[in-house]
Chain A
Amino acid sequence: MEFPEDLKYSKEHEWVRLEGDTAVIGITDYAQDSLGDVVYVELPAEGDAVTRGETFGVVESVKAVSDLYSPVSGSVVEMNDAVVDGPEAINEDPYTEAWMLKIELDNIEELEELLSADEYQQFIEEEK
């Protein structure tokens, strides 16, 4: 399983990549592996607000439904249509092709509360 060093991670298994003032978010390799074959994703539209720790969407695998929890607060500036049309990308390439939202951050300092790649890996080891 891969956990790129340049990303931040939440305990709800989302990742964040900072691009200028914009946060790109998706779910981690660990999350996609636990879910199994993803067949459906529901994401908010451009302009919608998301709040750190609250649900912003749903991802469904063949066997289960899981809520997505936002790792940051802000407003959605772009939603990845390609991942809605082809949700299997989440299993194949969770960090690049399967980004979910680009979010204009309310407060960039929120990122400091997220985990580093090492901290996240340690967290999932403990969770197992």
Chain B
Amino acid sequence: MVCIRFLKALQSVLDSRITVLYETHKGLGARFVDFAGWRMPVLYSGVVEEHMAVREACGIFDVSHMGEIEVSGPGAEAAVQYIASNDIERIVDGQCQYTLVCNDTGGVIDDTIVYRRSADNFLFCTNAINTDSVFCWLLEKLHGREGVEVIDRSGEYAQIAIQGPASLDIFKIAFGIDTEEIRPFRFIETTVAGSLAIVSKTGYTGEQGLEIYLAPASAPAAWDALMAAGAGHGIKPIGLGARDTLRLEMGYPLYGYEITEEFGPIEAGLKRFVALEKGGFIGQKAMVERAEGAPKSVLVGLRMEGSGVPRTGYELFSGDKAAGNVTSGTHSPALKYGVAMAYVAPEFKEPGTRLNMQIRKRSVECTVVAIPFYRREKK
């Protein structure tokens, strides 16, 4: 395993991988960035324009860099229950669940969505940067178990997300499939652009929408069909830039920033995705201890009161006293002020608490606020 991990790390340093939609993005005038070993579009028309398209109409994302790891066999459900923090027994076939794969100390190896396709077939959707780690971790931790097979299926799936108020209509125009009745965190298996596909009511933007897992060979045709169907509905391709501002407005954690091998679900406010009471699972003891003890840091939302854009690593103060650090921040395109997530000492966690953020040589006031920052207006 060490060997595979090393070779893949070496490969990603030598040349970033591209997705099957790379030429499509080039044709759309994308600018690219190297992200987690992949050459991905960071923007097409501009972060703010793309962001608002998702909030007001529809955005289409290539998320083929994300990984898919299958756990199958008669022992699969028990294996998933042992590996992941959430209670897999709470979901049925055709349902998926946000869950964390934790290490023995209660830190996070990855946050994932796990799809229950049947009692003996589960699919983990992983962050691109963690696909190899999760795969190696599963092989190691499930080694010797009867009736469980772990397969990295990442090469067999491209992934396209469409998000925004018009996304379901556009999907229906493109493929004739009505997804209105699919509830959040449910999925169907159907045919999209000639490929067997998983279509799930999930996303990373706070808007309604779908994530489509399909064969790489069919992805360009599916993308083009969605773009054509959405032409009259304001569809825009969305890069990683707006993907980040969208998730930040919702206060969704991003691996490597809000959740790490050190800061786990207890600190990150993700306790509802940890079934502490279920049967034994990796990291359970550590997380029970973390949950019962007094945390050193708590994740909070911050709204900037003065001008300035909060960024990762900026320091927070209460008077002269160090209060914590920003994990991610941006200028919110929808709200038009700076928003950030930060780890602060528990005494500063209450909404309404005033803190100062050191931005270069300036000290700028900010306020602890509840997450999400952005709430969709009810229809």
Q: Using CB atoms and an 8 Å cutoff, list the residues of chain A in contact with chain B.
A: 36-37, 39-40, 42, 58, 60-63, 65
Contacts and interface: CB of A to CB of B under 8 A. Distances in A.
A29 to B, nearest CB: 14
Contacts of A40: 307-309, 331
Contact of B330 (A42, A58, A62): A62
Nearest to A58: B360
A36 B241 CA distance: 10
A36 B307 contact: no
10 contacts: A37-B47, A37-B333, A60-B331, A61-B47, A62-B48, A62-B245, A62-B331, A62-B333, A63-B43, A65-B311
B42 interface: yes
Nearest to B242: A62
> Top 6 closest A-B pairs, CB basis?
A39-B331, A37-B48, A62-B47, A60-B309, A63-B241, A40-B309
B42 A63 contact: yes
A114 B129 CA distance: 43
Given A58-B360, A62-B48, A62-B331, A39 B309 contact: yes
Nearest to B333: A62
Interface string B26-63: 00000000000000001100111000000000000000
Contacts of A42: 360, 362
Interface of B: 42-43, 46-48, 241, 244-245, 307-309, 311, 330-331, 333, 360, 362
Given A62-B245, A62-B330, A36 B309 contact: no
A63 B333 CA distance: 11
Nearest to B360: A58
Nearest to B239: A63
B331 A36 contact: no
A42 B307 CA distance: 10
A65 B309 CA distance: 9
Nearest to A39: B331
Contacts of A61: 47
B307 A62 contact: no
A37 B307 CA distance: 16
A62 B248 CA distance: 12
A36 B43 contact: yes
Given A62-B330, A63-B241, A37 B46 contact: yes
Given A62-B241, A62-B245, A62-B331, A36 B47 contact: yes
B55 to A, nearest CB: 14
A18 to B, nearest CB: 31
Contacts of B309: 39-40, 60, 62, 65
A63 B47 contact: yes
A128 to B, nearest CB: 11
A92 to B, nearest CB: 12
B311 A36 contact: no
Contacts of B47: 36-37, 61-63
A68 to B, nearest CB: 13
Contacts of B307: 40
A62 B309 CA distance: 8
Contacts of A63: 42-43, 47, 241, 244, 330
Given A37-B47, A60-B309, A62-B331, 20 more contacts: A36-B43, A36-B46, A36-B48, A36-B241, A37-B46, A37-B48, A37-B333, A39-B309, A40-B307, A40-B308, A42-B362, A60-B331, A61-B47, A62-B245, A62-B330, A63-B42, A63-B43, A63-B47, A63-B244, A63-B330
Nearest to A65: B311
B355 to A, nearest CB: 19
Contacts of B331: 39-40, 60, 62
A105 B89 CA distance: 73
Contacts of B46: 36-37
Contacts of A60: 309, 331
B334 to A, nearest CB: 12
Contacts of A39: 309, 331
A37 B360 CA distance: 21
